[in-house]
Amino acid sequence: MKYDPAQKTTRGAVRTLKAFSETMLIMLGEKPFEKISVNALCEAADYPRATFYNYFDDKYDLLTYCWYRMRREVHLDQISGDPTDASFMAAFDQIYHLFDSHHDLLIAVVSHNPLDSQLVNHFIQYFTSVFTELFTARAKPQELKTPVELVAKHYSSTVLLIMEWIFLGQHPTTREEAEVYVRELLEPRFTCVE
Amino acid sequence: MKYDPAQKTTRGAVRTLKAFSETMLIMLGEKPFEKISVNALCEAADYPRATFYNYFDDKYDLLTYCWYRMRREVHLDQISGDPTDASFMAAFDQIYHLFDSHHDLLIAVVSHNPLDSQLVNHFIQYFTSVFTELFTARAKPQELKTPVELVAKHYSSTVLLIMEWIFLGQHPTTREEAEVYVRELLEPRFTCVE
DNA sequence: TTTACGTTTAGACAGTTGTAAAACATTCAT
DNA sequence: ATGAATGTTTTACAACTGTCTAAACGTAAA
């Protein structure tokens, strides 16, 4: 992101950032992302174009900030403690809750932006990278030949795949069912025992 | 794709499509995708802009055609026979070979387009969807609770993840090692036996 | 050769993008 | 309050995008 939220961020800046990101989310529920011009966005947010470019490199940069705000609502960081299976499922549950709490927004957005659109892609990729970091931080000491980073990416992309299936692909699924999916996909042993 | 390659495609059309896609691949080895304008592309390919829009909706549509041509070089379709593990690994090997045979091109492209760029994303997504179809077609009758489509997506995204790691992430890996990775990620049982 | 057809091209259009310089506000310590 | 520093807005600009129309072109049948 062009604008680093870890910086000081004056009160005015916060207001501006918030205005742009909320306007973007509203417009995403109304039309496809490609049809949203920076012009129209500034019009709707009632800020001059130059201000937009003050804070963001481009449309995509604003998107990143939108996802950043969404992600921030849930405190995922606290999980990275011990690497037991229980803690993994705890992380998974928090992720499920994060998406579930934005259910309506996601439905609205997907109705104008297909699953293979740039927008959905950008969304998935953002959260994949967030979770990859998370999983890398709490990686088990490995008995595998596969590199740790690759395993972490595999975990996070699988979790995101399930979230995409449930919340963007419109396949209503309870948290318990979702937990079964993630176990089946990431630990086939689970199914042998049952 | 705007231009359906299953159509009649006259000799002239083939030449034009080829010229545009080859020019694009060359330019991707020289600069980031965002910096390649349709103008410059037509300049380099020596075709008028109107001709470009005759064949493609936009830059991204041309990209899709580039990946289509690449994909077409290898005959992946013949695999979808019986759903044994051996046939899965056969498919995996063909995919490995496909990427390996374009090793130099991929290196050049990645040197100007980071792994999280729109370009690489588009590339990964194209092949993921191709492989998802492939794996859906040859899916095992399931004993899992997880929906077949989701499992197929999981297979293909995992395979692509490994390909990305090896060929785009610059982690030289032999085919044999790659096979170990895919077994470890998709069938943890494998590591228990060893 | 002429006619007719579809495709390719040139040129122009309104709208968008990202940047840069200068004018304008705010904040805050002195 | 004054002035310096910082951030915001205005305005202007060159380049690009996607679409459209009409003219030019090639080719194949009459």
Q: Which DSSP string corresponds to B38-95?
A: HHHHHHHHT--HHHHHHH-SSHHHHHHHHHHHHHHTS--GGG-S---HHHHHHHHHHH
- Nucleic strand D within 7 A of Cβ B27: no
Interface residue of A154, A179, A189 to substitute, partner B, most B CBs within 10 Å: A154
Span(s) in chain A for CATH 1.10.10: 11-69
**CATH of A11-69 given 1.25.40, 1.25.10, 1.10.260, 1.10.10:** 1.10.10
CB contact under 8 A, B145 and A171: no
SS3 readout for chain A = CCCCCCCCCCHHHHHHHHHHHHHHHHHHCCCCHHHCCHHHHHHHHCCCHHHHHHHCCCHHHHHHHHHHHHHHCCCCHHHCCCCCHHHHHHHHHHHHHHHHCCHHHHHHHHHHCCCCCHHHHHHHHHHHHHHHHHHHHCCCCCCCCCCHHHHHHHHHHHHHHHHHHHHHCCCCCCHHHHHHHHHHHHCCHHHHHC
Q: Is the pLDDT of residue A165 over 80?
A: yes
Cβ-Cβ contacts under 8 Å for A24 (sequence gap 6 or more): A36, A41, A62, A63, A66
Round to whole Å and give the CA distance between A130 and A163: 14
pLDDT band at A65 (very low <50, low <70, confident <90, very high): very high
Q: Tell me what pLDDT residue B10 has.
A: 79
pLDDT at B181: 94
Which among B143, B185, B186 has CB closest to A191?
B143
B58 Cβ nearer than 7 Å to chain D strand:
yes
Mean pLDDT of chain A: 87
Structure-block tokens of residue A73 = 């609502």
Lowest mean pLDDT among B29-33, B60-64, B125-129, B181-185: B181-185
Chain B residues with CB within 8 Å of chain A CB: 116, 118, 121, 125, 129, 143-147, 149-151, 153-154, 157-158, 161-162, 165, 171, 177, 180-181, 184-189, 191-192
- Residue B57 CA distance to nucleotide C13 C1' (Å): 19
Structure tokens at B106: 């991929």
Which pLDDT score is estimated for A1? 82
Q: What percent of chain A has pLDDT over 90?
A: 62
pLDDT average, residue stretch B125-145: 85
Per residue in B87-107, pLDDT (tens digit) is 788 889 999 999 999 999 999
Residue B10's nearest nucleotide, by CA–C1', is C7
Give pTM, 2 decimals: 0.92
| A47 CA from D2 C1′ (Å) | 31
